[in-house]
Structure 1
Amino acid sequence: MTHIEDFFITANSVYNISEEEYQQKELLIKSFEAISRSTYQSIYIIDYYKKNFLYVAENPLFLCGHTSEEIKKLGFMFYIDHVPLQEQKMLTEINKVGFKFFLETPIKERNICTISYDFHIINGKKQILINQKVTPLMLTKDGRIWLALCIVSLSSHNTAGHIELRKQGMTRYWQYSLENHHWIEDKGITLSEKEKDILLLSAQGFTMNEMANKLCIAIDTIKFYKRKLFEKLEVKNITEAIAFVTNYKLL
């Protein structure tokens, strides 16, 4: 059985955050409220000092029938109540190995780390596969995570897992193997300018004829690039390709 304490590790214990410091975070919360309203992104902020959620965006798709205030009161009980038991174990393992990786990273690089993974949430009889990206928002003076920003979206995969840790500005990244319980470094995916052009034009709703005219290339060349893109990204269609490159900041 999973317990709330399983989502935290001693090495990242945060101490001595004053109420005055919390009062200064009101502007931060208002900023994320505005971002959530304007983009309809599902955002929440984890507080590793109080071990709860400091802020939860009002996005009903990912709240499993709760209001954002109810989710704030639930805190990490949300995962215990609304994530399949086997995947709860995966989440607690991700916390342990993710924090270990983070704390072994030089302090100056910790703010550019983002960990991403997929898991299901249960809303009644329905399961939704989501992607969650977690990145440090505020660090303590000794480099521990006090506040972390989480962005939730629909997963571009079909199964849970896909645990990756990336550093901003770096093509290479690290994948975590749940079978072997260790990180594997990957050189990453690089898109050519032509591939980026096709993805951007596709996202803007251009047809293949229109893209061919705009890029001054044949329609067969557009088809060739799209096939190669699907193979490179391991997706089935342009919708999945756009979701993938958006999620992983490849554009």
Structure 2
Amino acid sequence: MKNSNNSTLLTRNHLGKVTDDERLAQNDYLEVVKAFARLTYESIYVINYETMTFEYVSENPLFLCGYSSAEVMALGYDFYFKNVPESDLKLLHSINEAGFDFFENLPGEEKIQYSITYDFYLVNRDGRKILINHKLTPLLLTREKKMWKAMCVVSLSHHKSPGNVCIHKQGSDTIWELDLKDKVWGTSEKPKLTKREIEVLHLYAQGLSIQEIAEKVSVSPDTVKYYRRQIFDRLNVSTIAEALSYAVNSKIV
């Protein structure tokens, strides 16, 4: 696989020598990643920060931009430079710097519990731009607790513009949000829905109409519309599709 000098422009996570013991501890983790990729509609790929290459890329077409998975693996970091607009490449550089600075300040093994999510444009071979959501979480750490390998998940973004940089910790309701202008992390709490709002959202996910949802939960259609407005306000979205995407991505439902 290609190890491009371009990779240094997009990541400041550079490893020293990885020991033989650490390599043996990997086991067959890639088989687990591949199994997960078979079960999800999202695109999955693995970054190896030792070699600055992509170690695995799933067959899902969203991330591939018209290439085969083998071609994307061969391109490695050059894939970004071929398929991400210049303005978004600068955005990715800023996110990388801020993200790894945040990561470096976390204590030891706790680092594995964090993930970062953000949005940027990919450009297909036909020139069509797609705003995607990109999530990254540590897969393997070195003995020095540096990120050795990371798993990335790509899906369509529910936002309307790039950025939207957040860090989540497993089991925590705290969200760290990056102010891209000042490069400062602020904190907020994950939005919460009531049991009835979650129930209504589940029924929307099943494709039910407002009238059908009203009959299911024994309320009037106007009450269902009220719940829908509450959901939109709490999640800061404007459509049910956006609400479902946000709720799933944020593990609210």
> Normalization by structure 2: what TM-score?
0.91
Matches of 1:72 and 1:26, distance apart in 2: 21
SS in 2 for 1:149: strand
1:15 CA drift (Å): 2.7
SS in 2 for 1:111: helix
Q: Please identify runs of 4+ aligned residues in structure 1 that moved more than 4 A.
A: 18-26
Q: Counterparts of 1:80-159 in structure 2 under 5 Å?
A: 80-123=81-124, 124-159=126-161
1:90 CA drift (Å): 0.8
1:24 CA drift (Å): 6.6
Aligned partner (choices 220, 223, 240) of residue 221 of structure 1: 223
Matches of 1:162 and 1:237, distance apart in 2: 18
Contact (CA 8 Å) 2:174, 2:189: kept in 1 or not?
Answer: yes
Contact (CA 8 Å) 1:35, 1:41: kept in 2 or not?
Answer: no
1:223 CA drift (Å): 1.1
Matches of 1:173 and 1:38, distance apart in 2: 27
Matches of 2:62 and 2:175, distance apart in 1: 30
Contact (CA 8 Å) 1:114, 1:167: kept in 2 or not?
Answer: yes
Contact (CA 8 Å) 1:41, 1:153: kept in 2 or not?
Answer: yes
Q: Identity across aligned pairs (percent)?
A: 38
Counterpart position of 1:230: 232
Counterpart position of 1:69: 70
Alignment RMSD:
1.9
Counterpart position of 2:193: 191
Matches of 2:132 and 2:244, distance apart in 1: 16
The runs of 5 or more residues in structure 1 that have no matched partner are none
Per-residue CA shift, 1:13-36, capped at 9, x if unaligned? 323335786577573222222221
SS in 2 for 1:50: coil
SS in 1 for 2:172: coil
SS in 2 for 1:146: strand
SS in 1 for 2:123: strand
Counterpart position of 1:179: 181
1:149 CA drift (Å): 0.6
Matches of 1:158 and 1:167, distance apart in 2: 25
